Amino acid sequence: KIIDANKKFFQNNPQDALELAKKLALKKEYPFAAKTVKIALDTLSKDNDSYEEMLKDYGIWTAEAKEKKVAVRALGKYIAQFPHGNYIDIVTKTKDALFFDDKDKNATQRLANYDGLIQKYAGEEIAKKALKRKIDLLFSLKRYNEILKINPSGMKGMMTKSAKALLSQELEKKECYKAINLYKKYKHLNDDGHFDEGLYNCSLKTMHYDIAKSIAKKYVASTILTERERWMYRYALVDYKLQNYAQAIKIGEDLSNIIGEKKSAYGEIYRVLFDAYAKKKNSDKMLWSIKKITANFGIDFSDIDRYMRVVGIGEKLKDDNIIITYGKYVYDMQQKAKTYPQSP
């Protein structure tokens, strides 16, 4: 109201209007500062000594006041009228900055705009701001790989966030080699154990058994029984893969003691134990574990090689009972599958 009441005064005294507008701007009263200077600006010709400065201030203050369309017109007018003016740099930067978040443009156009600003103002604050906006936009588009390729300095938090999001994405898609390589490259992505399940499975698939073992090790002493059983089985399996047969047997037997005589979701441990006993040439334990395998899985074709090994033990021991019992299992499986790779 004060500005409107003194409109005629500002029109007749443009310099006073400019001084008041500057004071308002210092207090961040940009809408009032812009309105004040505009009253005076409308009375001046381009040749007036104060015109260029006023036009610059009007454009910048309307930009600060979030009056984007007005600011773009004012700043564009300055650039057209004073292409080599005293304030061309700040005016150009202000106008460019107005297009950081141009909602009228699609993502591709906005990214191109950010790239232009980054290149044009390399090393300056506006370029840093444009880079941050570009990274944020790429993240919202789930283009995490591009963020990691840019590797923006001073944005460690966003790098970690992007690497975690990409790891989650790769694990979900079962892209195990990509997931493991990412995990190995960027440390601390799984400090909270969030990706343990996926990383363990991918580690097995890609034969990164050291990673699988480090994950399983965290749970073998869990106070939650079902969790402990699951990870004891997995730990024993990894030790077997690593040819740590004695260790695989130790933890496998510990798990067997927990399971007892009941059927278990982790009856696979007896297959691991059988194979580890075979590596250690422990015939007695092989005979014990084959019974556990049969009890848990019945006569399963996937165990035919194990049954053949047991037949071999029977032949060495000259034990007809073993030979006949397990030889018949092999024969029955071959008849059922119509395949005869083994001949007991």
pLDDT tens readout for residues 211-241: 999 999 999 999 999 999 999 999 999 999 9
pLDDT tens readout for residues 147-175: 999 988 888 889 999 999 999 999 999 99
pLDDT tens readout for residues 67-103: 888 999 999 999 999 999 999 999 998 888 887 766 6
Q: What is the b/e burial string over 127-165, where b = at least 16 CB atoms within 10 angstroms of the residue's CB? A: bbbbbbbbbeebbeeebbbebbebebeebeebbeebbbe
Q: Residue 32: its pLDDT value, please?
A: 87
Query: How many other C-beta atoms can be found within 10 angstroms of the C-beta atom of residue 104?
Result: 7
Q: Residue 103: its pLDDT value, please?
A: 65
Q: Residue 153: its pLDDT value, please?
A: 80
The pLDDT-based confidence of 24 (bands split at 50, 70, 90) is confident
Please answer whether residues 274 and 290 qualify as being in contact, where contact means their C-beta atoms are separated by less than 8 angstroms: yes
The pLDDT-based confidence of 344 (bands split at 50, 70, 90) is very low
Residue 20 confidence (pLDDT) above 90: no
Q: Residue 21: its pLDDT value, please?
A: 81
Residue 104 confidence (pLDDT) above 70: no
The pLDDT-based confidence of 3 (bands split at 50, 70, 90) is low
Give CA 179 to chain center in angstroms.
Answer: 10
Residue 109 corresponds to which amino acid? Q
Average pLDDT, the chain: 90
Q: Which two tokens stand for residue 221?
A: 């002493």
